[in-house]
Amino acid sequence: MFETQKEKNKISIKICLSIFLLVLFTSFWVLAQAQVHSDATGVKHSAHIKRDPDADTARFIVEHQIPTKMQIPGIQFNACEAFITLKYYQKNTLARVESTVEHDSCTTSTGEFELVVNIRDENGISRNLSFSEAWEQKDDSPLKSSQDYPIGENVTLKRVVAQSVRCKCTDL
């Protein structure tokens, strides 16, 4: 739904810009044909060509006021910024991770992130283990969870971080 709304907004902006440019270029063409005239409201419109006597060039000068009213359709942004807080510790061959998902931008949301667990084995070699996580938040209270992740034997838990966080407001 987010991608579809984003595409609709882009199309709306392109249509508005196209209409604006069409009105603008049409006005210049009419002015060039009419040279100088006043419309019903008394606004003077003029267009003329000035030739530079020292060069082989000419300038087309348009002086015109275009009173235009345009209604731009409302654009909805689905800005969802999630904040994930992690607490973690090692329990033998498991990493216990307590996570809290919060955001201020919307009441309800869905999202996903990658939990990266950094460990060091008995030979001193570090490596990362990745786990995909998702959430669905149905109200505006922080979403808390606690989960165990297997890290293997004879390793030390060094660090746990959340990466590639994607969030989508569902209350729009």
Q: What is the CATH number of the domain that holds 148?
A: 2.60.40
What pLDDT sits at residue 139? 84
Q: Is residue 74 part of a domain?
A: no
* pLDDT tens digit sequence for 21-65: 666 656 555 444 444 455 555 555 555 555 556 666 555 555 555
What pLDDT sits at residue 34? 46
pTM of the model: 0.53
The whole domain housing 88 covers 83-169
Mean pLDDT of 155-160: 93
Residue 25 DSSP code: H
Rounded to whole angstroms, the Cα distance separating 52 from 47 reads 16
* Average pLDDT of every residue of the chain: 76
Report the half-sphere exposure of 43 (CA within 13 A, side-chain side). Answer: 8
Domain boundary among the residues 31, 63, 95 is at 63
From 156, 154, 153, 162, select the one nearest 126 (Cα to Cα).
Answer: 156
Q: Let me know whether 34 and 89 are in one domain.
A: no
